[in-house]
Amino acid sequence: MDKSQIPPGAPGNPVQVNINLDQVPAMMCRCGGNRFYPIQQIRTVPAVLSPSGKAQIMFLDGWRECVLCGAVYTVSELQKVQEEIKKRGPVLVHAESPEGSNGNGNKG
Ligand SMILES: [Zn+2]
């Protein structure tokens, strides 16, 4: 197969780019944080459900927890959050506020 027929990014034709990470936006949490812990879920697969017929342990990745506020996201949820953030505009990263402005809607 002629490799030039394969679109860039498709299997067999990975996109080669030199990325300056300083120019790449980091995904952000709703709180403004941009660092995340990887979260893993560990599941036990009973023998009856296991393809091998033996009980197994499964490690599931795919969640990230915001270092600042503890919110947990899947990658697709995090992508939705980026859209929300874009719509509402840039937000200053706020230090912990003792009262918190979210909640009851009781304005002064
Ligand atoms: Zn957060």
For ligand 1, a single-atom ion, the residues with CB < 5 A are 29, 31, 33, 66, 68-69, 71
Instruction: Return the pLDDT at 3.
Output: 55
* Ligand 1: centre distance to CA 21 (Å): 21
What does the H/E/C string look like for 10-62?
A: CCCCCCCCCCCHHHCCCCCCCCCCCCEEEEEEEEEECHHHCCCCCCEEEEEEE
Residue with tokens 């499964």: 58
* Ligand 1: centre distance to CA 13 (Å): 36
* Ligand 1: centre distance to CA 32 (Å): 6
* Ligand 1: centre distance to CA 46 (Å): 35
**Domain span at residue 37?**
28-88
- Domain annotation covers residue 106: no
- Domain annotation covers residue 81: yes
Domain count, the chain: 1
Instruction: Return the pLDDT at 8.
Output: 67
What DSSP element (H or E) covers 2? none
Beta bridge partner(s), residue 59:
42
Q: What does the pLDDT profile of the chain (108 residues) look like in tens digits?
A: 455 577 767 777 777 778 888 888 899 999 999 999 999 999 999 999 998 999 999 999 989 999 999 999 999 999 999 999 989 876 566 666 555 555 555 555
* Ligand 1: centre distance to CA 12 (Å): 37
Asked if 102 and 41 count as a contact pair (C-beta separation under 8 A), the reply is: no
Instruction: Return the pLDDT at 90.
Output: 61
- Domain annotation covers residue 2: no
- Domain annotation covers residue 43: yes
pTM: 0.57
Instruction: Return the pLDDT at 97.
Output: 55
